Amino acid sequence: MNLASNLFRSAQTRADRAAVRDGDSVVSYRRLDEDSARVAGLLRDRGLRPGDRVGVMLPNVAEFAMVYFGVLRAGAVVVPMNPLLKAREVAFYLNDSGARLMFVWDAFAHEAQTGAKEAEAEVVVVDPPGFADVFASVSPAGEVVDRADDDTAVILFTSGTTGQPKGAELTHGNLRTNTEVMLAELLEITADDVIFGGLPLFHAFGQTCTLNTAVAAGACLTLLPRFSAERALRILAEHRVTVFAGVPTMYSALLHVPGRDGYDVSRLRLAFSGGAALPVEVLRGFEAAFGCPVLEGYGLSETSPVASFNHPGRERKPGSIGTPIRGVQMKVVDIDGNELPRGEAGEIVIRGHNVMKGYWNRPDATAAAVRDGWFHTGDVARMDGDGYFFIVGRQKDLIIRGGYNVYPREIEEVMHEHPAVAEVAVIGFPHPELGEEIGAAVTLKPGASATADELRAYVKSQVAAYKYPRRVWIADALPKNATGKIMKREIVPPVEES
């Protein structure tokens, strides 16, 4: 079944209800369905066939939903692209996926057109007035093209932290089932909900957990093109948001907005977090300030993305990513793939309906990542006696100091307990004798003060001697990617004064 059928059904039953809100502009389900049909008609008229790839380089605007479901409706494959990509990167995405047509927001058209020219791809520029003109002569495609569960719906490129990005092929079955579980079992979304849409829609988290979940339920998705904590608070209050979705840095930022208590967020009933480990102190602070529970989950682009969650109605353990969702298995294994006893740290592997079809045109990479049906995540975790998983860190982030293993997550949790700390990233850097030394980049809460020496001493008093960071420095901000995840590879300790 085509994933776009969710929109078609919601348009039949909730035609006049708000589907997408972008500022003061509201798009009904009827209009979203009609516009997606015109996108499908445009693709048909330009000779695209089911299975062809189409680039979508749009920010969080209503047109993203229109184009996304239009491409799917035509039976084609969506290739989501970060609007901030430069021409060289655009050319790579188009050439690698084989996309010969792309939709791009007008503000980013120059880089897209330059990259598309190199890839010999056609560009459709999306700006609200001009886009309507493009549609003027297009007859809508009334039918939703049939697709099988294992047909590819989206090629989602990974961030490329360990080399060139790879395209994870997510099928209609992957995305539909992940959406159904989020909708009915984890978030319990209804048509009366208003979901905050500040997560980038070109990313798996935003696509599945906000856009696809909202559309499947007939709920309203209220968009924020670029995250700002103050703007997000205004949307929560003015649009009467009931469900908030975010990454940890968003939660931390919302807690530190001056005058936060002046916003009426009483309609908020649920929040959920993913994308990175949510510090326990941030979780507790948000729940106390906003009066709603925060459910933490876990997943990757390659798992559509949700793999585990703190399920409603079950015990919720702060700091845990919960237990596997329905139809998914997870276990912790050693370097040889042997399952480890509960309590021991090892790599998370995942099996189930959410695991990708494979990496696009990369059979060797697929074979390395998916072995005997288990996807190897590269994330390190432990499982407790109740079957709850706790992230320890990334395998590649492990710091080996003088032969001792140090996981940054543990040290970050301790540092977050200091009342002056807003954000922290613990990294390893080369040391001539120990192999690696531990460093911590810290940002402080507004109005707070603390010295690097104070923070280092605080952590030293809480952990074993080999674990505390010998280098601590205060930063104005930490580098983040488009989804708000802290980019540790871009953090370099400042040069020490001689």
For 409-440, how does the pLDDT look when each residue is reduced to its tens digit (9 = 90+)? 999 999 999 999 999 999 999 988 888 999 99
| Residue 226 DSSP one-character state | S
Structure tokens that stand for 450 in this block? 């603390």
Domain 5-186 falls in which CATH fold?
Rossmann fold (3.40.50)
CA-nearest of 361, 230, 427, 205 to 298 is 205
Which amino acid would we find at residue 89?
A: E
Strands 374-383 and 346-352, bridge-based pairing: antiparallel
Please check the confidence at residue 479 and state whether its pLDDT lies above 80: yes
CA-nearest of 400, 377, 186 to 296 is 186
CATH number of 398-490: 3.30.300.30
Strands 435-444 and 471-474, bridge-based pairing: parallel
Which amino acid would we find at residue 374?
A: W
pLDDT category, 497, cuts 50, 70, 90?
low
Contacts of residue 124, Cβ cutoff 8 Å, sequence gap at least 6: 42, 101, 102, 103, 104, 134
* Beta-bridge mates of residue 405: 400
Structure tokens that stand for 374 in this block? 């288990």
Q: C-alpha angle 434/438/443, rounded to 5°? A: 165
Tell me how far apart the alpha carbons of residues 355 and 175 are, in angstroms, rounded to a whole number: 10
Tell me how far apart the alpha carbons of residues 243 and 273 are, in angstroms, rounded to a whole number: 11
Helix axes 128-135, 29-45, angle to 10 degrees: 60
Contact 97, 360 (CB under 8 A): yes
Q: Please report, for the chain, how many H helices and E strands are present, in that order.
A: 15, 26
Q: In the prediction, which pLDDT does 498 show?
A: 41
Q: How much is the average pLDDT of 459-484?
A: 93
Quote the percentage of the chain above a pLDDT of 70.
99
Q: What are phi and psi of 222, to 5 degrees?
A: -105, 125
Q: How much is the average pLDDT of 469-482?
A: 94
What is the chain's percent helix, strand, coil content, to nearest 5? Answer: 35, 25, 40
Residues shown for the chain: 498
**Helices within 15-75 (DSSP H only):** 29-45, 62-73
CA-nearest of 217, 181, 161, 156 to 17 is 217
Contact 220, 214 (CB under 8 A): yes
| Residue 39 DSSP one-character state | H
Please check the confidence at residue 396 and state whether its pLDDT lies above 80: yes
Structure tokens that stand for 301 in this block? 């682009």
> Per residue in 256-280, is it b (16+ CB within 10 Å) or e — as a string?
bbeeeeebebeebebbbbbbbbbbb
Exposed (0-12), middle (13-18) or buried (19+): which is 245, by Cβ within 10 Å? buried
Please check the confidence at residue 41 and state whether its pLDDT lies above 70: yes
Q: In the prediction, which pLDDT does 20 show?
A: 98
Please check the confidence at residue 86 and state whether its pLDDT lies above 70: yes
| Residue 124 DSSP one-character state | E
Contact 479, 487 (CB under 8 A): yes
Please check the confidence at residue 251 and state whether its pLDDT lies above 50: yes
Contact 329, 307 (CB under 8 A): no
Which amino acid would we find at residue 203?
A: H
Average pLDDT over the chain reads 94
CATH 3.40.50.12780 boundaries in the chain: 5-186
Q: In the prediction, which pLDDT does 397 show?
A: 87
CATH 3.30.300.30 boundaries in the chain: 398-490
Work out the end-to-end distance of the chain between its first and last CA atoms, rounded to an integer number of angstroms: 65
CA-nearest of 56, 91, 93 to 71 is 56
Q: How much is the average pLDDT of 338-352?
A: 97
Strands 389-394 and 101-105, bridge-based pairing: unpaired
pLDDT category, 495, cuts 50, 70, 90?
confident
Residue appearing with tokens 């908030």: 244
Q: Using omega within 30 degrees of 0 as the cis cutoff, is the peptide bond preceding 305 cis?
A: yes
User: What 3-state DSSP class applies to 411?
Assistant: helix
Q: pLDDT tens, 297-338? A: 999 999 999 999 999 989 999 999 999 999 999 999 999 999
Contact 62, 185 (CB under 8 A): no
Q: pLDDT tens, 113-166? A: 999 999 999 999 999 887 878 887 899 998 999 999 999 999 999 865 446 789
133 vs 384: which has the higher pLDDT: 384
Helix axes 109-119, 87-97, angle to 10 degrees: 50
**Helices within 327-390 (DSSP H only):** 363-369
pLDDT category, 275, cuts 50, 70, 90?
confident
Q: Using omega within 30 degrees of 0 as the cis cutoff, is the peptide bond preceding 293 cis?
A: no
Structure tokens that stand for 134 in this block? 């493009």
